[in-house]
Structure 1
Amino acid sequence: MYVVVMGCGRVGASLAAALLRVGHDVAVIDRDAGAFQRLGPDFAGQTIVGAGFDRDVLIAAGIERADAFAAVSSGDNSNIISARVARETFGIDKVVARIYDTKRAAVYERLGIPTVATVLWTVDRFMSTLVSDTVPTKWREPSGAVVIAQLVELNEDWYGRSVRELEEVTAARVAFLIRFGEGVLPNVRTVLQADDTVYIAAVSGTVGEALARAAQPPPADN
């Protein structure tokens, strides 16, 4: 998947890095070239200086071949204009915008543009919206720091592998399984089976990446 991210603040940089880590291609747009320092020296994506609602800037970022667009700058107006240009001018289906004003967010949701508020799980919501059709969070503790989520797409190559291996790859804890309709509390010797429904516990901001890693085959054995 090719994703264009407009805005390279903390959320934009974190989102771009998370998308790259799970194998997607990313371009990041920001008005301030200095903002790209947040991406780090090893950033493998594309960076473009300019306004995210400028047609030429979007074309330079590869919007015409993009599968998804995220507007995460610090301004509501810039985000929603950019999101609408991506959706209405370039026909991008998966578009999401960060909106600070909750009343305006409701309006844009009715226009068919998903919005994300400035909460602890912002990156998780963006990842789920951009690379998945569902938001699989089942429980979040009161501070929002820990989440339990369903692995809605577990690659079949994980079957026969241990829970411990899955935990190492996803950097999450397998909280429990549903197997043959019954709940199972796994231990380090538990082996994943076909038709298991797997629920993980993870820190907010890492859930989307964990889901994406689980959807990929396990790494090859050395």
Structure 2
Amino acid sequence: MHIVIMGCGRVGATLATTLERLEHRVAVIDQDADAFRRLGTGFGGRRITGVGFDHDTLVEAGIEHAGAFAAVSSGDNSNIIAARVAREKFGVETVVARIYDPGRAEVYQRLGIPTIATVRWTADQVLRRLLPDGPAAEYLDTSGRVALVEMPVHLAWVGRRLTALEEAAAVRIAYVTRLGVGLVPTPATVYQEGDVVHATCEQHRVEEAAAVLAATPEEES
């Protein structure tokens, strides 16, 4: 996959080098050419000097054939503008924006762009949103039988109660991360776009359960 990253600070450089190790093609945009030194001499991706929401800069970075875009510069406004341009003008399906002000995160989330509030940010969280290709084990009990797993959920589940997800996949949802904050669900809690679902099930059923949630839900009769 080709992935474009706006911002080459510690966050952007970490993402870029990690994604390249995972054999993705990466282009990094930053206004300061000196910032690319953080990538190291072994980085084989593209370095683009320019403004991350500028049309020509994005095209030079290969946005027209990108599968994902991450806006992780030091400015909230720049990140959200760039993320919206990538999503709305170039049709990039997977877009993530880093937000310093958690109070703004919910507003931007409603625009359909997943956001990561910096106070609770980790590179792993952004990577999980850029590459949501399978369950990520978070805990395994000492017997090895029960696992706590972060499970990607298909967007078609948005608006359905978490109890419906539990019933379909035969799992128990321990908690949900919403806008960077952990939430213990109630029977009335509804799955929202951007939610990260952490579910428990028997270890041998992880792949089976994950496949159910990664697919569109079956229509109710």
Partners in 2 of 1:44 and 1:196 — Cα distance? 39
Q: Provide, for residues 114-156 of structure 1, a one-character-per-residue CA deviation record: whole Å limited to 9, x for no partner.
A: 00111465211110000116784756xxxxxxxx963869xxx
Partners in 1 of 2:14 and 2:128 — Cα distance? 14
5+ residue gaps, structure 1, are 140-147, 154-177, 184-194, 199-222
- Any conservation in 1 of the 2:101–2:118 contact (CA below 8 Å)? no
Secondary structure of the residue aligned to 1:41 is: coil
Q: Displacement of 1:72 after TM fit?
A: 0.2
- Any conservation in 2 of the 1:128–1:135 contact (CA below 8 Å)? no
Secondary structure of the residue aligned to 1:29 is: strand
Match of 1:109 in 2: 109
Partners in 1 of 2:95 and 2:77 — Cα distance? 15
Q: Provide, for residues 89-110 of structure 1, a one-character-per-residue CA deviation record: whole Å limited to 9, x for no partner.
A: 0000100000011111110101
Map 1:34-73 to 2 at 5 A.
34-73=34-73
The answer to whether the aligner puts 1:8 opposite 2:5 as a matched pair is no
Partners in 1 of 2:15 and 2:135 — Cα distance? 16
Amino acid corresponding to residue 43 of structure 1 in structure 2:
F
CA 120–43 in structure 1, closer or farther in 2 if over 3 Å, else same: farther
Map 1:85-96 to 2 at 5 A.
85-96=85-96
- Any conservation in 2 of the 1:128–1:134 contact (CA below 8 Å)? no
* TM-score, structure 2 normalization: 0.63
Amino acid corresponding to residue 32 of structure 2 in structure 1:
D
Amino acid corresponding to residue 78 of structure 2 in structure 1:
S
5+ residue gaps, structure 2, are 140-146, 153-199, 208-221
* TM-score, structure 1 normalization: 0.63
Map 1:1-222 to 2 at 5 A.
1-119=1-119, 121-132=121-132, 136=136, 138=138, 150=149, 181=202, 195=204, 197=206
Q: Provide, for residues 179-219 of structure 1, a one-character-per-residue CA deviation record: whole Å limited to 9, x for no partner.
A: 9x4x7xxxxxxxxxxx4649xxxxxxxxxxxxxxxxxxxxx
- Any conservation in 2 of the 1:129–1:135 contact (CA below 8 Å)? no
Secondary structure of the residue aligned to 1:84 is: helix
Partners in 1 of 2:116 and 2:137 — Cα distance? 15
Secondary structure of the residue aligned to 2:112 is: coil
Partners in 1 of 2:76 and 2:4 — Cα distance? 18
CA root-mean-square deviation: 2.6
Partners in 1 of 2:121 and 2:89 — Cα distance? 29
Partners in 2 of 1:21 and 1:14 — Cα distance? 11
CA 48–149 in structure 1, closer or farther in 2 if over 3 Å, else same: farther
Secondary structure of the residue aligned to 2:100 is: coil
Partners in 2 of 1:118 and 1:130 — Cα distance? 17
Amino acid corresponding to residue 58 of structure 1 in structure 2:
L
Partners in 2 of 1:149 and 1:92 — Cα distance? 31
